[in-house]
Amino acid sequence: MNPVSGSYRGEKEGVNYELRIDIDESSPGVVVLNVVSGDIVRVDGVFSFQSLTLRKDVADDVYTLSGQTVVYKGTEDNGNTAKFTIRVALGNNGVWAAHVHLEELRQGGHRHKLEYDCVKYSKYFRHVTVDVDYYGDELVLPEFDTHSCPDRPPDLPKRIITPFTPYEDVGVQMTLNRANSTQIEDPDPTNPWTLAELSTAMTFHQNINPNTWNIWVFLASAYRNPRVGGMMFDKKQRKGCAIFLDHVWHKDMKSNNPTLKAKATRKFIHTFVHEVGHVLNLPHPFDQNILNSTSFMNYDWRYNNRNSPGAYFRNFYYKFDDFETKFLRHGRQDFVKPGACSWAKQKRNTAMPADPDTDDRWAKRLQLKITPEKTTYKQMEVVSFVVQLKNVHKSVVYVDTRFDLSTDTVKFFLVSPNGTVVEVDPMEYEIGSTNMKLLFPSGSTEGPDRHSELIRILYGKGGFYFQEIGKYQLKAVYESGQFYVTSNLLEITIHPWTGNAGIPQRFFTEKMGDYITLGGPLESEYKECRALLDSLLASPQNKDWIGVLKVLTSENASKQARQMKLDKSHGKLGITSHDAANNDVLQSTKDTLKRLHASGAPGENMLYEEVTKLRARAYVNLGKVDEAQKEVEQLVYDLQSRKVKPFVIQNILDDWKVIKGEEAKAPKGLQDRVNEIVKWTKEDYNDDDEEDEESGLGHGECFSEFSPEHQRASRSCVQQIVNVAEDTNDISYTLEYADAMQKTGKYNFLLVHYALNVFITHHPLARRAGLRVSEITESSTMDQSTFAMVEHIGEPQEIWMDYWRNDADFTFHHEHWHLVYRGGGLQEFSGQKHIDRQGELFGYMHRQMLARYNAERQSWGLDVVKAYNYDEIEPLGCDVGEEFHSDPRNSYMKPRPPGKKWEGSYVEQFRNWEFKLKEAIQNGQLTTELFDAVLENRDASDLDYNPRKGFANYWGHAIENTSSTFSNDYGGIHNYGHSIFGSIGQRRPYSSYMNSTATAVRDSIFFRWHTHVETLLDQLLSHDKYKTDLQLGTPSIILSSSDVYISKSNEPPKGFLDWSEKGKIWVNNKFDASTLTTTLGLPEKKFEWGKLRHDGYTYHIRLMRHPEKQYDRRKDLALTMRVFICPTKCVEQRQRWIEIDKFKYVLKRGQQYAVVSRKDTHSTVIRRREGEGAPTDDPEIDVPNILTVDGFCECGWPHNMLLPRGTAGGEDYSILVCVTDNTIDTGDKESIRSKCGSLSYCGARDKRYPDRRMMGYPLATKMMVDGKDVSVSEAARILDNMAMSSFKIQNKDIRYPQPEPEPEPEPEPEPVPDRNAIAWLSNKQVGQGEMSAFRSSKWSGRFRVLIDGDYIKTTNAFADVGYMELRFQGRGKDGEYTLANVTIAERIPNTLNVVDNDVTRPADVTFNKGEKITAVNPWKGVVSDPVKFVVQPGKDYFVTFTLDSPGCYTNGSNPRVSSWLIRDPKGYAQHELNWDDPAVKTDRYLASIYCLEQMKVNDE
């Protein structure tokens, strides 16, 4: 193959000719444009021509073209017409040659003919050399595998590319000039580079390398603005760019993590190609109104903001677009050549920007305003104005607040006095991270509604913008993401200079423009500029405006650390250190500071702040921190006096800390920020903006992890957070974006909370930052004496388990497990549909939870949990308390009402699913559209067995409904059941506890429902095909019941270690059973009802090699130690055993016996945090062949609940140890030890579950020995590798103060009314059976309680008139409980008021048969004497009374009963006012406070 396409060159009589033919593939894969172009370089300029087609003649080796086109002349703007013919033929030497005949028609009718010949020079169309100067150890021009990043187009070809490859793809040869690529010896590498330093370095390079097709790239450390990853100089001699390797985009290029390295390398290549493209005069696509380009020349963040996070690289093919390709190949030479043409020629603007459409909903949300410092200026003054972007929408908006000219986010357009429209272009353009910020609605207390910056315009790429005398118009455009907003039109007048007429001529020079724009570089070439400004400053009339220029030109005086020099001997750039001229800064800005202090003009506040910070840096550099402190304090005082917003003041104080080096400026602690985000709640739940909620869930929906529809909706939200993290590699930015997702209304706020928790659990960026899922850590605010009212006396009640269900660490355990083992898998992270053995672990984790719950219940004398029956009416309901429901983060959650049952359609559907599941067990096969899971009896000793594909794993998936794989055939019993319980009796948008993994375990129905689910799992695990042969793969170990001992002591009992070498046996085999102790104390965290803890314990296990298998002594024995406990009375029930540990132990070669001692804190069941819960004395640490890996550090059973409670007298427990062969358990691979988290409950991150045996082995299924079924105790007695021994667990309940003994006999108990005569019992309203139950309250004041007349009538107690007898019950703070001014009166219908003449005012409520003031037993409460009222049936009444102090009262939750409260009565106790009057602060409470204990009607 000998392609015609490529570049051709010729020379004749001092004229250079270049021809570019593009009609076939110059290289494989290069796109053919069918274009011919050329340049004729003559003394009077450059002629260029272009044609669209080159026709092939009959002869295969000849092409001809005739055409007519516009010819551009380099010295003129007009074009001349030319006719030309090109003939290309293959020469005898095998090289293509072209003959060009050109007939040019010039202006004036003159004709000029030209013929010349060109020979093919290269397959490339352009040839560019690149010099790369770099800091660091080596030149970084990496290679990149296009498939190394998972976020890519699915059809992207796999290949290896470099930063030069994209240019070679479009026919531009990039050649690295290694001879001129130099390692820069930076004297201060930690100091960020300034614009002046970079510009000076580039200027030196241009002087050293005059080659017009040479580009300079500087790989520097960091830029003055840390958000900038790359920049390009847009000056006349623009030939270079800089890329900053310490930027967050690029810093992981040397990472050992392949994913991080790949993403950083991709970003580096993008930045490199983008900036070099600008040097070759390529514009941004959006400058040509191409808004959705995925070309190299677009910003990824700009594309993502218009589409979605991560969308750019998911659609990025590492290419230029068609326009860019054609420009680089065939553009005029003087347009493409580096630095030869302003790229602005590619984006001409001839008119002011148009305003957005009136129906643009995005534009309506923001207001862009420019406010001038003043409207008239003199020549040479800097035009200053404040740009303000304000939120004018009812919702929060999320905007990019980079207003600097170099970012292209805000553009400015000028209409000059002569009518010319000019876009203000800076000297440099930057590519970098966005600076996103939330703008809140006006009046919000959450944050500011606007962002403002001071912008100055004087000089740029277009020269001095206000050099002409006359009136100018200025307009700004903000363009970012979906937002396109235009500003007001500002008019500015420039008056002529009235001083020395020669000053403007000296001022309006390119050198002065560079000096001011670059911040006052210190190089000697600018000394005339400094001198001119200093001379002008000496005149009092110039101090104001020259003072501003001195501020601008003092930046480098306080920062510049590098002095550039030319090393003539080597022709290289040299750098030496440079002392900043701090004293000059202080002297030149002194008068300006005084003026700004005295001015008080709001328009100058930003300049005042800027000058003070500039001077503060200079003072600090000179070691005069106290002087700087004084000026900063004065600034703060002045701005506060001028009513500047507090957040502005705080930013100044934060910046001052950075300047003086006290602390790095950083956002609030990352974990604190996470906690803030997930605590944020939306005040209302309406769906007015539901069309804006991107997941489809809607704002008025309570998100539930158990809903498959909600899980599907969550994927887009999780993916967006992941994409932002992948794009930016910035965890702070990612958190802010997540916050913006909820506050802008982009996503349902509860959905965002869940998505952020998923991200934190699984994404490496969050893990590296040490972030944890937010959990309850606050202390309880409830009155501690409250808990006396649920003292566990009398008949056991369900309420006695409230402390266990509401333990904050336990509720977090359940929530976090479901985050780790998320329904629907982790497709946003690793592409996994599920984590290893997720289905099996779902069943095992919940089975263990039930075993612990039932052990706790039985310790109180309660029955084990009864499985929920589809047909039953659930009598109890659930209300977890006022503290929980008064917390804003739980505002969407309501108590579950009692007396509800499932709808018949649900029951029918669930029974149908269960029938299919039971049928699957009978058939031994789970059948789906994708595959069949076969029930088979296989053990881990079969090394070909993959437990991930085991029937138990698929069975768990089918019941939990983790994916559509099983839901289409078997429904989703577990998840849908949660959803039904969570929504029963609730009105949208509210939900109940069962709908959320964070609250489900608080509800007693959770355990009844899971007992129902467990019966389905047990039908599988009890199947005969799933029996476990306990003799398969057993190790050569012997242990007996006396070899297992557990106690509170770290040391084993006396004689436990004694070994007889002669008999090869343990000497002592009788040890008294020990007692472990637990404590049930007051709550420690919010929403708790008590806290169970245990004293530390250690178990000691004696191991002995089997004496008949001596050959085993010649090798190490790798063992898996499995430890369980169980109430002794339940040992034969497999499901009741509680796993407390599982770990690896190695009996070394030649070692006959060993004693293993292990503390409770080392358990692999509990939640262990890295650095906290992985003790250094863990004996597993030194075990060989064990791999320590990262786990899910927040996942695991709470340590405080590792032991069940036991009983006050000591409950009998058994401990079971089963020792198995670890080489079989792990598949002859390394065992895994987790640094943190629970290995048993959570596995290890990114690893297979570290045990091939069935979870819960050997107790998961029925057990066999010698082919016969055996019980647990029989197996422990028969097998050498299993042993069981006894101990006790004793509990001390310290929640209740013990009453002092009374010398006198106990008073007779208060008579209890006949229950049959009580028409209304308050404790029934709260679902607590016959047990009186109290909850704390912080309310005191005047209460009004409704007595529903219809409810009275249903008692059939009276005919026409009768009386009602009420009792009040409660417990006041510090033991006092008094009521006063009790009345009952008929209610005026549909009001809060009563009939005046119907008020019955009995005597004050009394106690103990007449006592008015009580000092009751602080932990038992009190019931009042009966209070009698006359009533009529069918009428509503209000009981009104005053409570003197807050305390503990009985809750009410009957929907027919409501209470109202005046918090601060202010005399209302003595007379009744209009309760409906808005001036009376009345609060309504449903199911909040209820103080009426019982109601008796007519003695019945």
Q: Mean pLDDT across the chain, nearest whole number?
A: 79
- In this predicted model, what pLDDT tens digit does every residue of 242-288 receive, in sequence order? 999 888 888 888 888 888 899 899 999 999 999 999 889 888 898 88
Q: What is the CB-side half-sphere exposure of residue 1147 using CA atoms within 13 A?
A: 29
Per-residue pLDDT, 900: 92
Q: Which two tokens mark 334?
A: 């003087």
Cα distance between residue 743 and residue 683, in whole Å: 11
Q: Which two tokens stand for residue 1347?
A: 């007595």
The residue-averaged pLDDT of 865-871 equals 94
Q: Which of 631-635, 1027-1031, 1301-1305 has the lowest mean pLDDT?
A: 1301-1305
Query: Has residue 563 got a pLDDT over 70?
Result: no
Maximum mean pLDDT: which of 236-250, 922-936, 1197-1211: 1197-1211
CB 1296 within 8 A of CB 1233: no
Tell whether the model's pLDDT for residue 1492 goes beyond 70.
no
Is the per-residue pLDDT at 236 higher than 70?
Answer: no
Determine which of 214-218, 507-511, 937-941, 1178-1182 has the lowest per-residue pLDDT on average.
1178-1182
Give CA separation, 248 vs 221, 229, 318, 733, in Å.
Answer: 11, 8, 21, 11
Q: 1344 versus 1034: which is more confidently predicted?
A: 1034
Question: What is the structure's pLDDT at 1120?
Answer: 92
Task: State pLDDT tens for residues 967-1022.
Answer: 777 888 999 999 999 999 888 778 999 999 999 999 999 999 999 999 888 887 77
Query: Can you give the C-alpha Rg of the chain in angstroms?
Result: 41
Decide if pLDDT at 1479 tops 70: no
pLDDT digits (tens, 9 = 90+) for 1015-1066: 888 887 777 777 888 988 889 999 999 999 999 999 999 999 999 888 789 9
Tell me: pLDDT of 602 over 80: no
Read off the pLDDT of each residue in 1426-1449 and give the average, rounded to a whole number.
71
Q: Which segment of 224-238, 534-548, 568-582, 1104-1118 scores lowest on mean pLDDT?
A: 568-582
- What is the torsional sign of CA 220, 222, 224, 230? positive
Distance of alpha carbon 811 from alpha carbon 999, whole angstroms = 6
Average pLDDT over residues 1464-1473: 47
Give yes or no for residue 489 having a pLDDT over 90.
Answer: yes
Lowest mean pLDDT among 323-332, 1274-1283, 1490-1499: 1490-1499
Classify residue 355 by its DSSP letter: P
pLDDT score, position 1473: 62
Pick from 460-474, 937-951, 1087-1101, 1344-1358: least confident:
1344-1358
Please tell me the distance from the alpha carbon of residue 1119 to that of residue 840, in angstroms, as a whole number.
23
Query: Pairing mode, if any, of strands 1263-1265 and 1028-1029?
Result: parallel
Q: Is residue 758 scored above 50 in pLDDT?
A: yes
Q: Is residue 437 classed exposed, middle or buried when 0-12, 13-18 and 19+ CB atoms within 10 A define those classes?
A: middle
Helix (H) or strand (E) holding 741: helix 731-743
H-state helical runs in 1128-1259: 1222-1225, 1239-1242
Q: Are 1283 and 1040 in contact (CB under 8 A)?
A: yes
- Mind giving me the DSSP string for 764-813? HHHHHTT-------SPP-S-GGGGGGG---SS--GGGGHHHHT-HHHHHH
Query: Using CA atoms, how far apart are residues 169 and 825, in angstroms rounded to an integer?
Result: 40
SS3 label, residue 1130: helix
Task: Of 20-34, 103-117, 486-500, give the lowest mean pLDDT range.
Answer: 103-117
Mean pLDDT of 723-742: 85
Query: What is the helix (H) or strand (E) element at residue 471, kind and residue range?
Result: strand 470-480
Minimum mean pLDDT range among 708-712, 744-748, 946-950, 1153-1157 = 946-950
Looking at residue 348, what is its pLDDT?
46
Asked whether residue 1486 carries a pLDDT value surpassing 60, the answer given is no
Looking at the predicted structure, is the pLDDT value of residue 136 above 70?
A: yes
Are 1054 and 989 within 8 A, CB to CB? no
pLDDT at 33 over 80: yes
Percent of the chain with pLDDT over 70: 76
* Amino acid at residue number 1452: G
Give the mean model confidence (pLDDT) for residues 151-170.
93
Contact between residue 269 and residue 142 where contact means Cβ atoms under 8 Å apart: yes
Confidence class of residue 728 from pLDDT cuts 50, 70 and 90?
confident
What proportion of the chain, given as a percentage, has pLDDT over 90?
27
More confident residue, 509 or 661: 509
What is the band of 1498 on the pLDDT scale with cuts at 50, 70, 90?
very low
**At 657, is the pLDDT very low, low, confident or very high (cuts 50, 70, 90)?**
confident
- Are 1134 and 1178 in contact by the 8 Å Cβ rule? The answer is no
Query: In the predicted model, what is the mean pLDDT of residues 1258-1271?
Result: 92
Residue 708's Cα: distance from chain center in Å?
Answer: 22
Q: Given CA atoms 1298, 1299, 1305, 1306 in this order, what sign does their dihedral have?
A: negative
Helix (H) / strand (E) element for 204: namely: helix 195-208
- Is the pLDDT assigned to residue 1402 strictly greater than 60? no
Q: Is pLDDT at 779 greater than 80 in this prediction?
A: no
Using the predicted structure, report yes or no on whether residue 91 has a pLDDT greater than 50.
yes
Closest CA to 1101 of 1016, 1184, 1159: 1159
Long-range contacts of 641-649 (CB under 8 A, 24+ apart): 642/600, 642/602, 642/605, 644/605, 645/448, 647/447, 647/448
Which is more confidently placed, 405 or 909? 909
| Rounded mean pLDDT, 1191-1220 | 91
Q: Which residue has the higher pLDDT, 69 or 1138?
A: 1138
Are 309 and 720 a contacting pair, CB within 8 Å? Answer: yes
Q: How confident is the model at residue 1170 (pLDDT cuts 50, 70, 90)?
A: very low
User: What pLDDT was estimated at residue 1483?
Assistant: 55
Over residues 394-416, mean pLDDT: 87
Long-range contacts from 789-795, C-beta under 8 angstroms, 24+ separation: 789/1332, 789/1333, 789/1334, 789/1371, 789/1419, 789/1420, 789/1421, 789/1448, 790/1089, 790/1333, 790/1334, 791/1295, 791/1296, 791/1419, 791/1420, 792/860, 792/1293, 794/1331, 795/1330, 795/1331
pLDDT score of 883: 83
**Proportion of the chain in helix, strand, coil states, percent, rounded to 5:** 30, 25, 45
**Which tens digit of pLDDT belongs to each residue from 285-321?**
988 888 889 999 998 888 887 887 788 999 999 999 9
Comparing 48-57, 134-143, 770-779, 1134-1143, which segment has the lowest mean pLDDT? 48-57
What's the pLDDT at 829?
64
pTM reported for the whole predicted model = 0.70
Torsion of CA 167, 171, 177, 183, to 10 degrees: 0
Residue type, 636: V
At 1282, the pLDDT band (50, 70, 90 cuts) reads very high
User: Of 213-217, 824-828, 1297-1301, which one has max mean pLDDT?
Assistant: 213-217
Q: What is the DSSP letter of 1360?
A: S
Q: Is the pLDDT of residue 462 over 70?
A: yes
